[in-house]
Each structure stands twice: as C-alpha cells, then as structure tokens.
Structure 1
C-alpha cells in the first residue's frame, strides 16, 4: 500500500495534508468504518479519494447532486485517476465510457446518485465489479428529519450489508442528534470510528440584518463586492428570477437557478458559474450542494434559511480556498412565519415537529444574537469559541438591556393560561386588550392582564421572538402553535436567573412597517397549517390534488370559526353532504382533538343545516315510543324517514302523512309539526 503523503503529492499536487485529513485517510484506507464531520472546505473529498487509490477494487461514492459528481469526476480525471459517474444527467456516450472502464477493470471511483440504489440491476452490478469501499458524501441526508433528507439514502445500509465492505461517511452539518441517526442507519452492525474536525470557518465573516427594503439591501451588498463571484439564496423560484434581473439591471453579471428549470438549463448555469469569474447566481437551495468552486467570495440570503444546519452548509460554499469571504443573511417576521408553517404543515410526528421548532429557534438565536455570532454558531454544534472579531456583532456590539422583567411577565401569561395560546392572544392579555376571546376565556381577570402596557404590540412581538431565539418557548404542534415553555425558562420564571435582550430589535419594532397581510390572523395560522397538513396527507393517500379534498378558502373558514361539532362543520362554506360524510370527522378531530360519531342520515341532515331539527325529532320519537302516556304499543320512525321530514319540513298533517304514513302521523304528527314550526 502506497504511503498517503506520496500519493498526495504525486496525484493531487499537495505538499501536506490539511489539519485532520491524514488520520482520517489512514483509517479509511485500512478498512475501518468511519464517520467524519469536517467543515465545508476542509477537504472531505480527499479523505475518500486518496484511500480509493490505496485500496484494491472500486470505491463507490454515494453523492446527492449531479453537479458534485461532475466536478469531482472532472478533477480526478484531470489528475490521471479513472473515475466515472452514473446518473440521469449522463449522455449515452458518458454512460458507455463508464461501463467500458468498469468492464476493463480500470475504474477506481464510481459516483452514484442515491436513487440508483433502488434498482436491482444497479445492486447486482455493484456485487460483480469488486467494490471494496462505500463512501457516503453529505451523509446528513440519511437523517429522516433533516433539512436535506433523501429517502434513497436509507438504502445505503442495505447495500453495505449486501456487499459486506467498509463504509466511510462524511458531512459538514450534523449536530449530536443527526450524528446518532447516521450511526444508526449506516453503521447498525458495528460502530464507526468518529472524527469531529470542528465547524469553524475563520475566514468567513458572518452578518445578519433585519429586512428593510430587502432588494435594496442585496443590491447594496453586491455593489460593494462588484466583480466577485457570489451566491444569493432565495426562498422561492420566482424571487430568484426577479432578483437576478435586478442585479443585471444594476450592472452585475447574474443568472438564476432553481429546480423548476429544464435539466439542460440547470447544467448550463452550473457550468457558467464554474467557468466565469465574477458571476452571481441567484438560486434556491437546489443550487450549490457539491459545487466545488473555491473562489466564491460572498454568500447572501435574501430570505431566512430553514435551519441553522442549512445556514451553515450554504454559507460554507464561500471561501473554500481559505481566503476571506463574507456573508449576509436577511430575516423578517414573514420569514419566521413561513418557516413555522412549513414545519406545522409537515407530516412528521409531533415530537419531531417540536424538535424542528427548536432548530428554528436556534437559527433565530443566531439572528438575534447578543454577542459574537461565531461563538453562538459554534456553541450550537458543541464547540467553544471566544469573540472572533470577524462578525458584525464583533465589529459593532449590539445594544442590550436587562429584559428579565418583560420575559417574566410573558412567561407568567403563558403559565396562567395553561400553555394553550399563541403570542397574539398572550399579547392581548399583557397589554390589557379585552378582546372577545379574552373575555370569553375570562382572561381579563388574570393578574397578568394589562401588566405589559409599557410596551406596544410590535415590541412585545419582538420580545416573544427573542424568547424563541433563546429557546425559552416553542410552538406546541399538538396545540396548534400554542406556546410551551422549555426547561430553560423555569429559572427565569422563578427569579433564579436573568436574561438580556436586544434593545435595537425592540426599538425597530416601533417603526417597522406592517407585516404582509396573511390568509388568517396570527392566532389561527398554526391551526390552518395543521388543517393543510391533514389535507395533504389525504390527497397523497388518494393520489388527487389537495384542492379536491377542500380548497384553501374552506380551510381558512375552518381555522377562523373552529367548529366544535359536525353540525357547525356543515355550516362551513365548501363542506357539502358528501364531504361532511367523507372528511368531516377527520378535520373536526384536527380542530378539537376528538372524533364525533354520527349516523350517516344525521350527517346529511347536518349538511343541509337541519342537524338540530333532526336531533329534536329523534328525541320526540323516543319520548313517544310508547305513546303520550307510555302505555301504547311501541312505534318508531326510521332514521331515513326522520331525515326526509327534516328535508321537506311539512307544515300540515297531510303533508307529514305522505312521508310517515297515517299510524306514525297519528302518534308523532302534532309534536313533529310543533318542532318544525319552532325551527322555521
């Protein structure tokens, strides 16, 4: 076996390993199972490419994006290493070339998309070609609840068992929970040797800013770095197109990239970004994973990322050459609302959604950090750091104050309302706003009612946001977004600890323009998200578009009215007889947490607005079952007959007799006609 240092110089042209690389290379080369967490730009790919040359046989590299494969295959071939990729982006000639290299026994590294593992033919092929190592790049994709989950990554464990070869897994973004999940799914038979090589990227300057004319903020940031390659990440496809156009109009070479583009257009965009100096790509997160362009000088987020892991991975695409790079992340209340709704509308179990809210809280904590952002970021990943001098808060410290009293008031309001309400209702209590809901719940009698009149509504919203950033409170998915205290809040509530808040964030809330109008008010948003999640689940089960179940307007009305019975549900616009019968109980259970059992004919009556009358007539026939004095022969009406009476609402004995017949009309007629008259 050749020495790693010799191959490093001869093949890759490097005189020395980067910190931590050599011991990982030796572990992988000697056949040990390895899980390595290394910062982006830390040289992960070398840690499996070099061992591939030191070992006999083929190293299979499971990689999530075609762009990554193309970059690495191109670089390896330029270095004289036989490498190839099999993916949907190949031309026929490229695929044939790979198969020829496999057949001739020349291939050392074979890159595969995880989707290929679903093919029996691909697994059979891998068993024939002499695979000696499986390398898993971006291993966090195996985490079922992570931000980049790829279902086909779950097949890697099966492949490893079938081939009985070592596995080397690499990622730059994995907290302790994600690392544990990677070990469970990829290394279930024997634990791997783990290498944690740090998350710090000291060459990257970190900065956040509250949204204030965000397009202008991005244009100003790009203008100060004109001629430098950069990436702007956006939350929607449409925004990538409009923002790239604005950058071009401002004199920057800029293109857009998103998953809705044709494959050839995406490939051209990737190729241009690799080859052209100073080009800006405005993209969704579909772009960038695995793009190995070393001289990206800046990364900006026009919208808040999904999580702190996603943020770290995306900014990590800057400065891979070790030279200085800069970042800017914009955030606003609408971003946070969107990310919360995406979590609530997901189909994950409640405990996972609660954990995802915690991860989003961590990102808010970074956005609203009081001190050095790098220290806050590294602390999340379990590392200690002092002030870095290379972030906006080290450049210009935040204006902070003792916010213990305000936070304690908010926590008290949460506790005294049994953790059953969202921030909108809690703020109404704190500022003494006697809304109909506050009065209905008796909350104007709470000791906390009106204790927060010193702050305006927007300022309290900023306090609650910072409380989430400190992970003192989280939305409870089981209670449609009601705020629940975490263990970290208890010492503050009991007066055993204090907390600092950012004064500038709260002061900015006074002058900030109104938020974008939403479909429902803040209190109803979590319930609307839960209803949408249930709608999506049913639509996926039935293979139909979501609007076929219920349209948005119907769900909005459900969220606003919060019907507590199927009778009330029947009055919601868009809930007809058939849909009430099919979906009524299911959606009612989302709203109330319980399922109401109801006879089908009762459902139909409810759908026509006659549920109360149906119940009244059924009660009368039970009362008159043995006649007015309880001594006559039993007689009753069928549910369908009662439903017909409800639908027709006859106002004479003759009309009623046509439905019930003479015997039943004689027994029930007078009482039924009185009930019909009262209901009319």
Structure 2
C-alpha cells in the first residue's frame, strides 16, 4: 500500500505505510532503485536485521544512510535517526518521500500544530523513519513518546561527534546513551565517516552499545582526485578552473569569514554564481544561502568550516581549499563532501607554508593543556607533510587513517597523474645535512631553508648563522623547492624530524653515511607548478545530460525538492548513455525506483525521445 499524504504549511507529510516486504533485495530495488549493494552495506544491514548493535565507519559516499533506511522498511514500526543539522534532516526526508517512504522530522522549525500531527501519526504507526536532533532525542517528553510508539531501531548519524577525541565534538551527543538505557532491547547503529580507533572505542562506550558488530570500511574514495597547487597568485588559476566547470556545483573553503565574503564577491564579478556562508551571517541568510546551493540555484558556496557537516548534496563536483586545513581529519571530512554520488570529483588545495603561522596562532590561543597542544601541533605537522609529500597523496591519507594501500601509484592524485623524474640529489642532500650540522641540530625545516637561501632575518643574524659557509649556498632552487627537498629527505629517512610543537631536524646514521660519500640520495626533480589538470572526457551524451538536468531542476522546483531528490547525477548520466525507451528500460537505470518511475518517468522519457529525434539517434543506439 502506498502512503497517503497531508499538507502542512506547504510541506507534504506521508502518513501511510509501505506494506509487507519480501526481502532486503525487494526493498532495495523497489524503494531505492538499486540492484546491488555497495561494498560493506549488505554485511552491515544483515547485522542490523539480526538485532545487533552496530558501529559502522564508512567513507562519505559509501552509502551509510541505506544501512538504516532499508532495515527500517524491513522491520516495520518506527526507526529514529539522530542527526545534527536541520537542513540535513530535511534533505533526507525529502529524498525518502520521493521514493514513496513515509518519513518525517521533528525539529525547532516546525510549529506546535505540525509537531502534534506528526506525533499522532507516529503513535498510529504510519511513520517509518523519523529524524530528530540529539537535543530532542533525550528530552523526557520525546522519550515518553517513543515508549508509546513501536520503536524498532535507533540510528546515530555523525557518531564521531560523541567523542572528545574527535574533531567535531558536541557535548549534547554524550547524553544519547539514555536511548540504550531506556530501550535496551532496541538495536542501535552508530555511523560516521571519520573515526580513528580511539574515537571508535569512545563511541561504543558513550552509547553503551552491547557487544556491537564493528564494520570499518575503506577510507579510499576512488572517485576523488587529490591535487595540491602552490597558493601564490592562486586566483587566476581558480578562475580558469571554474570556467572549465561552469555547470558543476562546488564548495570553496576559506579560513576566515571575511575571506568567504571577499572571494564570493570577486567570483560574482567574474560572472560566477557564488554566495558566502559562515557562522557570522544572520541565521536566515545562512539558511537561505545553503538552501540555494542545495537546490542548485547557486553553483558555488564560499564557506568557512562552519558549512557542510553531513550536507546531503551528492552532486558536488569539486571541493577547493584556499587555505591550509588544521589537520587531516578535517581535510578528509571536508573533501568527502565532493562526489558523494560516486562520480568523479576534484579536491584541490592551494598550499602555502605561510598558512602554518595562522594555525600555530590558533593552537596557542585555543589550547591550555600542553598535551593537547602537542597533539594539535603533530596533527598540523602531518597536514604539512601531506602537502609536501613527493609520493602518492592517496597512500599518505590512507596510511594516516591506519589503512594499507598496496599500490605505489593510485592514478588519482597529482603526484601519480604525471610520473615524477628522479635525479641524483646527493649534492643537494649533502648541502642540507651540512647546514643542519652547522646550526647545531637545533632548528626546524623553515630555519634551515632560510639559512640556505640567504634570509636576512634578525634571528639568523643574532645566531651568527649568516657567517657559516653554507649560508646562501642554495642558489639555483627556490625556497619552496628546498623545503620539498628537506621533506623528501625526512620521508626517506636521510634526516630525522623530532615532531611535536617545535619540530627540529637532526642527523642520523644515514645522514652521516651521505656525508662520508657512502650513500647516494635520489630526489624528485622539481617540475612545473600551478597547473590544475582537467578531468577525463565523459562517456555519455553531455548535451542530453544537461537537458535532463534542466528538466530535473524544473520538476524539483515544482515539488519543492532539491534536484537530487528527483534523480542523482549518476542516474541522469546513465540515461544520457543508454537512451532508455520505455518504463522497463528506465527501471534498469541506477536510482530509478517504482515511485520515481510513476512520478517522473514519462517526462524524462519524452525528453530523451525529443533529444534523439533532434540529433538523429537511432534505435540501434538506444537501450531496449
């Protein structure tokens, strides 16, 4: 039986129910339009269906939502999803309703009458999935409501927020253990995209999970291309890239609120559709800008890190950082907002070592505890290492998160995209080692390079290091190139960095072997800088894809939905590749459910037919 509906303040609330389900596979195809699971999904779903508590760590885009949405339909009754952001809840509910699934959210944006109606239909058993905030989930009145409802499952999204070891700690998440205490027989599934082992353990303890099944998926986002580009004079390169991606949605992260507004204004003057987003904007303006981006009315958001935790927009084709992130956890989560639909997306970081000074200032300002401060410095140092590595960036990221990557080259980062050239760097290495020894093994990489490049800083003069024979001996390479040589030598073990708050370069046995002429040092030859390569050409009809995107936007606006709630980009690209002719053909397309076929199928088939007639595309090229 399909859901009936009521209309409240322009919003449609489904109050029917789905009927009996034969199996998880029937649910998958009928309500989500998929014929197979993504890696790890089926095992997680099986554990949930077996009634176990579950901890699932899955990369963004790995399909976390399905791991509780599908069991919710198989279980029947009510599934409660705890989610941190109203906008995220609304997007999820819109997408579920578009698939004919009775879903709702209770949050502070609803009026008293609307909340009472939703509470009534919950008690009548006509809501399958309910989204609430962590604050709402622990309120006594809400817990009493759940006690009267047919509660079958609880899902905690963005579960890393519960841990003080995590990077988005939210104290209100700590109180969620009351859900297990009040409903001990109801399974809980905790989900997150970023959780190192300490955070994973903390989630289990804080939620009081009982012998949970743990699923730690791969952190490897194969569809993302990672690039680091020198920041000097970055704006012309940014504009050139955006001109090549005018039809793509993207997020540009800036360090400060002022920078987001200045960049958005500059991009607007260049003819781009861009808006700023930061915590200093009035709530209504911030919500308006996010909604415009979600619905595709604005293509680019220039944002601080206040934007996007859990943002449910799958078709973000690029995430660009104009400033150095503070740590790899934040960087991974922010870049994870690109390509959630599994399609190719770019992650570009404009890098300058000078940004590290801002990070140091913030660390000194925010941390009083020496141990926490040291951890923050170590994490910032790893961020620098990622930017300056000469090896595969994907391998570096995965190693940081404790995942082995067997290949030396991923083909999905700038380091692997163009083969590096190696030269005999023994002379360069000897110069660096001699400098480190000459200044007493008491300084970090920046100071060493300042000596080599003849900096006239007062600190060097005061230390008398401007009188050393090695002073200003680094002519022939730029300062950034010397820094990369030093970093590569550290990575290859020719010198040692002590790490911590004030990293110091010291010599080791391999350093001394180089000075004695016993050990050659291969180094990466400096190459051209500042080029942002383009993605490969599409294997689908791009003109038809753009036509279907325009149709999708019109239909989404009519239904007051974000475009991806109608169809994902991947669905449109498959339509533009196979040119489906009938409803049966359309059901074979990724993400086309029975409900979406009934609601939108005829309009998309008509658009495809019209395109094929206009471009002389015969039946031999069409899926039949």
- TM (norm. structure 2) is 0.70
- Unpaired runs of 5+ residues, structure 1, are 509-680
Match 2:203 to one of 167, 174, 182? 182
The residue number in structure 2 matching 1:613 is none
Task: State how far apart, in whole Å, the 2-side matches of 1:470 and 1:182 are.
Answer: 36
Alignment check: 8 A CA contact 1:365 1:468 kept: no
CA deviation map 1:581-623 (0-9, x unaligned): xxxxxxxxxxxxxxxxxxxxxxxxxxxxxxxxxxxxxxxxxxx
Alignment check: 8 A CA contact 1:492 1:498 kept: no
Against the structure 1 CA distance between its residues 409 and 152, is the aligned structure 2 distance closer, same or farther, given a 3 Å change threshold?
Answer: farther
Match 2:265 to one of 221, 239, 245? 245
Task: State how far apart, in whole Å, the 2-side matches of 1:475 and 1:348 are.
Answer: 19
Moved more, 81-90 or 67-76: 81-90
Are positions 1:393 and 2:423 aligned together?
Answer: no
Task: State how far apart, in whole Å, the 2-side matches of 1:464 and 1:432 are.
Answer: 16
Alignment of 1:83-232 (within 5 A): 83-92=103-112, 94-117=114-137, 119-164=139-184, 165-187=186-208, 190-232=210-252
Return the offset for 1:40.
1.1
The residue number in structure 2 matching 1:63 is 83
Against the structure 1 CA distance between its residues 385 and 115, is the aligned structure 2 distance closer, same or farther, given a 3 Å change threshold?
Answer: farther
* DSSP 3-state at the match of 2:52: coil
Return the offset for 1:498.
8.5
Match 1:324 to one of 335, 338, 344? 344
Alignment check: 8 A CA contact 2:275 2:298 kept: no
Are positions 1:455 and 2:474 aligned together?
Answer: yes
Task: State how far apart, in whole Å, the 1-side matches of 2:513 and 2:141 are.
Answer: 65
Alignment of 1:486-501 (within 5 A): 492=510
The residue number in structure 2 matching 1:79 is 99
The residue number in structure 2 matching 1:280 is 300
The residue number in structure 2 matching 1:48 is 68
Match 1:355 to one of 375, 378, 400? 375
Return the offset for 1:81.
2.5
Alignment check: 8 A CA contact 1:303 1:330 kept: yes
Task: State how far apart, in whole Å, the 1-side matches of 2:98 and 2:295 are.
Answer: 16
Moved more, 129-138 or 113-122: 113-122
Alignment check: 8 A CA contact 1:413 1:429 kept: no
Alignment check: 8 A CA contact 1:431 1:449 kept: no
* DSSP 3-state at the match of 1:345: helix
Return the offset for 1:179.
2.6
CA deviation map 1:154-212 (0-9, x unaligned): 2223432333233211112223333333334334x644221122122222221111111
The residue number in structure 2 matching 1:370 is 390
* DSSP 3-state at the match of 2:354: helix
CA deviation map 1:228-287 (0-9, x unaligned): 111111111111111112112111112222222222222222222222267111112222
- Unpaired runs of 5+ residues, structure 2, are 1-20, 530-624
Against the structure 1 CA distance between its residues 445 and 25, is the aligned structure 2 distance closer, same or farther, given a 3 Å change threshold?
Answer: closer
**RCO (CA 8 Å, sep 6+): is it higher in 1 or 2?**
2
Task: State how far apart, in whole Å, the 1-side matches of 2:440 and 2:205 are.
Answer: 38
Alignment check: 8 A CA contact 2:431 2:470 kept: no
Alignment check: 8 A CA contact 2:166 2:195 kept: no
The residue number in structure 2 matching 1:24 is 44
Task: State how far apart, in whole Å, the 2-side matches of 1:112 and 1:266 are.
Answer: 21
Task: State how far apart, in whole Å, the 2-side matches of 1:22 and 1:463 are.
Answer: 46
Larger radius of gyration: 1
Moved more, 346-355 or 71-80: 346-355
Alignment check: 8 A CA contact 1:368 1:469 kept: no
* DSSP 3-state at the match of 1:73: helix
Alignment check: 8 A CA contact 1:388 1:394 kept: yes
Moved more, 340-349 or 42-51: 340-349
Task: State how far apart, in whole Å, the 1-side matches of 2:106 and 2:196 are.
Answer: 31
* DSSP 3-state at the match of 1:207: strand
Moved more, 320-329 or 43-52: 320-329
Return the offset for 1:127.
4.2
Count of aligned pairs: 495
CA deviation map 1:544-581 (0-9, x unaligned): xxxxxxxxxxxxxxxxxxxxxxxxxxxxxxxxxxxxxx
